[in-house]
Amino acid sequence: MTVSERRSEGRDRLSLASFGFFLILIGAILLITPNYYNEFFAFIKDFHLVKVASNIFLPAPKSSHPVVYTALMEFCIAYGLFQIAILVFRFALRDPVSKKAETVSGIVFWLGAGYLLSLLSAEKFGWFAFLAGLVIFIGLAIFVRSLITLTFQVARRVR
């Protein structure tokens, strides 16, 4: 087995471990959150169209759903913290910079989404502010990934 085959195998195992943890975490959140299914379906049924501009309508819930928001927040924070562990393993396995950058961008997104959901759950801001914040964290995750990749490419050329 060549070095590249071992590295490829290691990356696949980390991705598989990450997906497995994702599924376990979904199950755990569903188990520990009381009455989650009823709360989730109440959340879905609560959506209506809100006029945000002259001819633009967007869906938004009529009321707050702290049980759903808190469960999603717990999921995002736990998954973001797990991504930190995955990043440590990526360094230990000497994975390529692109995989490390991908993991860092995942950390930024998941922990950012968890933070936004905590604010939404505490009713610090509304639904559309949450969506705007989510778009910001998606952009930030893409930016961080690109910046890490670009920095290492430039550093490699300088050597």
The per-residue pLDDT for range 95-126, each reduced to its tens digit, is 999 999 999 999 999 999 999 999 999 999 99
Radius of gyration of the chain (CA): 19
pLDDT at position 25 is 97
Residue 12's pLDDT is 64
- Digit-by-digit pLDDT tens for the chain (159 residues) are 445 544 554 446 888 999 999 999 999 999 999 899 999 999 999 999 999 888 999 999 999 999 999 999 999 999 999 999 999 999 999 999 999 999 999 999 999 999 999 999 999 999 999 999 999 999 999 999 999 999 988 877 877
| Residue position matching structure tokens 């709360």 | 39
pLDDT (0 to 100) of residue 158 = 77
- Residue 14 burial (CB count, 10 A): 19
Please, what is the Cα angle at 91 between 88 and 73, to 5 degrees? Answer: 35
**Prediction pTM value:** 0.88
* Digit-coded pLDDT (tens) for 139-151: 999 999 999 999 9
**Beta-strand (E) ranges in 19-97?**
47-53, 56-61
| pLDDT in the model for residue 11 | 45
Q: CA-to-CA distance for 74 and 83, rounded, in angstroms? A: 14
What local confidence, expressed as pLDDT, does residue 10 receive? Answer: 46
Per-residue confidence (pLDDT) for residue 36, from 0 to 100: 93
Under 8 Å between Cβ of 57 and 128: no
